[in-house]
Amino acid sequence: MSIFSKRTARPKPRRLTFALAEAGHTYDDGVTGLAPTSLTISERRVAVIGLNGTGKSTLLGLLDGTLKATCGSVTIAGSADGSADGGERESLDPASKRDMRRIDELIGRVRREEIPESFNRSENIADAVDVLLKKHRVPESERQAIIGDLFAHFGLASAAKEPASALNGEQRHLLAIAAALSLRPSCVVADEPSKGLDEIGTAHVAKALFSYDTQVVFATHDTDMIVRPEYAIERTLVLDDGAVAFDGTPADAVTFYTDLVRRRYELLR
C-alpha cells in the first residue's frame, strides 16, 4: 500500500505554517540555544542567517521537530485538504509522539550534505533511495518514477549507479536534498544546504533546491544567495545571541547583518 494513499489518508498541504509561542530550547549542558521566541512562518521561501552559535540550527530543530521546546510551544499546521488556505486544518504538536509521525511525513530534513547512513551500505544511490521508499511502502512503479524525476531535477541521473562513496561534495549535497524530497513532503527544512561548496557548486545546489515546487525554510551563511531574485526568498530572519534580531526582506536583512558583523569585529579590536 502506498504512503500516498492508505498511510497518508489526509492529503498533504502544499505548505505549512509554523508557529512559535514563547518557544525556546536550553540544552542539557545549560547552554541556551534559542531564547523564548514568538513568530509565525508560512512563506514559501524563508532564510535564516547569523554568525556561528547564534541559534540558527536550534531554531530549525524546533521547526522540524528534531528538537523539543524546553519552554513555550511549537505548532505546525496545514490544510487537511491539501490547499494552502481554507479547508479543514490540522494542527500538530512536535512534543506529541503521535503528531510526530505525521510531521515526519510532512517535513523533509536536510543537514548540509548528510545523507542517511543506510545510503552508504547500498550498492548505488538509486538503490539507496529505492530502499528508503520501499520501507515506506511506496509501490515499485511509483518508486521508479520518483527516483527518475528527482535524479533528473538534481542532476544525479549520471551518478545513479554509483555508490555514495564515489560522489563529490556537490553531488552529496544534491543527494541529501533529493532524499529529503523523496517522500513528497510539504516543506523542506534545510540547515546550510550548500555549506562547504564553492560559488559554482552553491549556485547549482541553490538553483535545484529553489526551483523545486516545495516550501523551503533554510539556514545559510551565504548572503549573496538570499538576495538573488531568481531564488525568490520572501523573508529573512537574522539571529544573534540566541534570539531573532531582525525579521524582514532579504535585502534589509543583509544590510542589518553586515552592520552586525562589522560591530562585532570592532568590539574585538
Contacts of 36 (CB under 8 A, 6+ apart): 22, 23, 24, 71, 72
Mean pLDDT per block of 10 residues along the chain (269 residues) reads: 45 94 97 97 97 96 97 90 58 95 95 90 96 91 94 97 96 97 96 95 96 97 96 98 97 97 84
pLDDT value for 234? 98
Residue 113's pLDDT is what?
Answer: 87
pLDDT of amino acid 7? 44
Report pLDDT for 59.
Answer: 98
Rounded CA separation 173/181 (Å): 13
pLDDT at 206: 97
What is this structure's pTM?
0.91
pLDDT value of residue 6: 43
Q: Which helix (H) or strand (E) holds 238?
A: strand 235-240
Please tell me the predicted confidence (pLDDT) of residue 24: 98
Joined together, the cell numbers standing for residue 152 give: 533528473
pLDDT of res. 16 = 96
- Taken in order of first residue, the domains within the chain and their CATH numbers are 17-268 (3.40.50.300)
- What was the pLDDT predicted at 88? 65
Rounded Cα gap, residues 209 and 18, in angstroms: 20
- The answer to whether the beta carbons of residues 63 and 75 sit under 8 Å apart is no
